[in-house]
Structure 1
Amino acid sequence: IDAVLAVQEHVDPQLIKPQHLDKQRYMEMKLKAQKESGKIQTQPGEYDDLWNLDHKPEPESQESAANRKFPPEPEKDIVWFIQEFSEVLEDWQRDIMTMLRDEMLYFWPQMETKIMNEGWASYWHQRIIRELDLTSDETIEFAKLNSSVVQPSRHSLNPYYLGLKIFEDIERRWDHPTKEEIEFGGRKPGQGREKIFEVREFDSDISFIRNYMTKQLTEDLDLYVFEKKGPEWKITDKSWENIRDQLVFARVNGGSPYLVVEDGDYLRTGEMVIKHMYEGIELDLKYMERTLPYVYQLWGRAVHLETIVEDKKVMFSYDGKKLHRRFV
């Protein structure tokens, strides 16, 4: 269970699924390849060259050539892929993987709306409490609790704080539109509450940030991009468009790295190659080093992970004993 939980985010929640490689077809292909590789090579007879003139080898079709790649296309659903094609898992272990995968698919919409969910809860928590007839002690207790929840951090992004501030900003802008927004955008004053309900119904974190994160809000929240330069962390960017885009990138794939199975039979050894679809955010290497042994445990063969570290392509490999790292 621990091994599956380590990779549980790497499922494919698409409603319209790409065509997966059929397991029976895969096993037939693998058995055929094993038989062909195990053919006994005999010495040619005296007249074999004459017989071979009448038996020209058939050209390999495009379909059979494509079948040699496994999977035919990069597979995003790593949990499903291991569950279906691992040669070391027993049936009861596959059943556990199926249950955990189904559970993750159930919670996936919450992952895609994490900032919105936390912001929405914080918004209504404040509004409801403020309308209650509380004593002074109860008011102070709420203020302490609420401030600890929505307090901004200098080192990381607080989803409660960001979501709350975006919802409040949307409500304010639609309640009190500017003259230009009224004339050219068709907005009418007092539509803030209606607008936040509309946003809640139709948006995900990605569209929520991309559509409603403004320059003024970025400045009010004092957001910035920072990176580690040598031994120190330094602010590298305060452009509001870049900050907005960084926040959007961080919410792609529910906030988890976008990984795919690139090759499930690397060099015909049965080893797995996982590729990180790098989009500017590097992997957490410490977490990756702890996770690869779990993938090895599930797959039963060496596992390789290709990613980008400091603008260089790197391949990490785990063979059951040691983690190796090489530049490619």
Structure 2
Amino acid sequence: MSDSIAEELWQLEETIPKMIEIARDFKLDFYTMRFEICPGEIIYTFGAYGMPTRYTHWSFGKSYHRMKTQYDYNLSRIYEMVINSDPCYAFLLEGNTIIQNKMVAAHVLAHCDFFKNNVYFSHTNPRDIIESMAVAADRFRRYEMLYGQEKVEAFVDAVMSVQEHIDPHRMMKRKEKSCGKKENCCGEKPATPYDDLWDLDKPAHSCSCRGGCKTKHTKLPEQPEKDLLLFIMENAKDLEEWHLDIISTLRDEMFYFWPQMQTKIMNEGWATYWHLRIMREMELTEAEAIEFAKMHAGVVLPSRNSINPYFLGLKMFEDIEKRWDKEFGEGAGREKMFEVREMDNDISFLRNYLTKELVEELDLYLYRKIGHDWKIVEKNWEKVRDHLVHSMTNCGFPVIMVEDGDYGKRGELYLRHVFEDRELDIKYLEKTLVHVYQLWNRPVHLETKIDNKPALFTFDGEKGSRKFL
């Protein structure tokens, strides 16, 4: 290790405890922090996998090479990666200057505060997540040894194609259902001679467990089901235990990552707001202050073609602070900010706090391609706000409902796209139906709209088809 690197590490070790103290004085509340400096290859591996202990998959390697190529050609750079865990791990990029790592440390302190206190993260399990993902990765490797890498990878491909189709309101693990003598197949209380009196006003019960209990047939599911992965786990007929384990693992991981997708603008805006305030409290040399100002300006640089979450989130939190201080007195703004940080996600954040003045100040607009040119088509602030909110509904993924798991009384799967003025990518749709067939092992249908006309796509195991309804 060179003397300069050793000196920078020593400075960082001296600085971080001071930054933690400043952050706590600002009332930030975070888990115990662990900082590590890693080479670029490690940072980009973590960035591609999403976690340092996750299972291997070819798509993660693809993401790694894309990010590393952008880094090698100086097109983009990841300065850090922070893990929502307890203790909270922050990986800093080797080669950062000391002032860059100071700013990054301040940034991740606020991220960790957000992870710990935002209500949408309250159902995640930060204490055991790293270990549980490592254990799952070991199981996946064992499956590859038992059943062959190609077979396991093909099944993981199929699950990953629909891994976003969960019900995020169901932040709990699936409970196994079994048919036993003391309890019936759906885990209900033991039967008594008087049960028929209580159930006179209820419809006939239907069991959907994989054990195949003999009950009167009703529609499966009885109500449309949003959690496609859960429905497949509980009702697909030909899945083995290792299949169920892979589906369950990917579903649980999606529950872990979902709050991060729900709060991207808020989380980055919160971290940017606080790294700016924490760094202002640090004793910086003139050269360090200039370098910090340049780096911060790069982080919040607005984009002409997309939303910069760091910039928009920062401006919205600053606007909240200013407006509440003006109306209710000094300090009310910070109090309101902490309340918003705790209770909101990006949808409610934008709907409630993106004002007309902010839309005009930040020059937000809607645009689309007309002919060969991209043109601005809308600057009305409410329509801009509503479009942003709409684009973030269900984290931007289409809502797919399971309508019938026994379509045509043949065990076929009928799915319906909840159409909201955005058509599905037909090429992607058709490829995804092939993967869903691998999971269901019977014909799969998906109803959607094309040019505002109801259409049905089908894959029967050999070929796909489409028709207008």
- Is TM > 0.5 for Structure 1 vs Structure 2? yes
In the alignment, is residue 152 of structure 1 matched against residue 307 of structure 2? no
Alpha-carbon offset, residue 209 of structure 1? 1.0
Alpha-carbon offset, residue 305 of structure 1? 2.0
**Separation in 2, partners of 1:107, 1:300:** 28
**Separation in 2, partners of 1:140, 1:291:** 50
Aligned 8 A contact 2:265 2:313 in 1: yes
Out of 128, 145, 165, which is 1:10 matched to?
A: 165
Structure 2 partner of 1:201: 342
Structure 1 partner of 2:321: 171
Alpha-carbon offset, residue 93 of structure 1? 0.8
Structure 1 partner of 2:252: 102
Structure 1 partner of 2:423: 282
- AA aligned opposite 1:237: E
Out of 459, 465, 469, which is 1:318 matched to?
A: 459
- Runs ≥4 residues deviating over 6 A: none
Aligned 8 A contact 2:402 2:415 in 1: yes
Structure 2 partner of 1:131: 281
Aligned 8 A contact 1:21 1:71 in 2: no
**Separation in 1, partners of 2:171, 2:383:** 32
In the alignment, is residue 219 of structure 1 matched against residue 360 of structure 2? yes
**Separation in 2, partners of 1:115, 1:285:** 29
Out of 216, 220, 226, which is 1:76 matched to?
A: 226
- AA aligned opposite 2:313: G
In the alignment, is residue 192 of structure 1 matched against residue 333 of structure 2? yes
* Secondary structure of the structure 2 residue equivalent to 1:9: coil
**Separation in 2, partners of 1:141, 1:315:** 57
Out of 250, 256, 275, which is 2:397 matched to?
A: 256
Larger of the two Rg values belongs to structure: 1
Alpha-carbon offset, residue 70 of structure 1? 2.1
Q: What stretches of structure 1 of length at least 5 have no aligned partner?
A: 33-63, 178-186
In structure 2, the CA distance between the partners of 1:87 and 1:312, relative to structure 1 (3 Å rule), is same
**Separation in 1, partners of 2:370, 2:454:** 20
In structure 2, the CA distance between the partners of 1:128 and 1:322, relative to structure 1 (3 Å rule), is farther
- AA aligned opposite 1:11: I
Alpha-carbon offset, residue 290 of structure 1? 3.8
- AA aligned opposite 2:439: L
Alpha-carbon offset, residue 221 of structure 1? 1.5
- AA aligned opposite 1:94: L
In structure 2, the CA distance between the partners of 1:141 and 1:4, relative to structure 1 (3 Å rule), is farther
* Secondary structure of the structure 1 residue equivalent to 2:212: helix
Out of 388, 406, 410, which is 1:247 matched to?
A: 388
Out of 285, 298, 303, which is 2:439 matched to?
A: 298
**Separation in 2, partners of 1:16, 1:100:** 14
Higher relative contact order (CA 8 A, sep 6+): 1
Alpha-carbon offset, residue 205 of structure 1? 1.6
In structure 2, the CA distance between the partners of 1:175 and 1:168, relative to structure 1 (3 Å rule), is same
**Separation in 2, partners of 1:9, 1:248:** 19
* Secondary structure of the structure 2 residue equivalent to 1:74: coil
**Separation in 2, partners of 1:86, 1:77:** 14
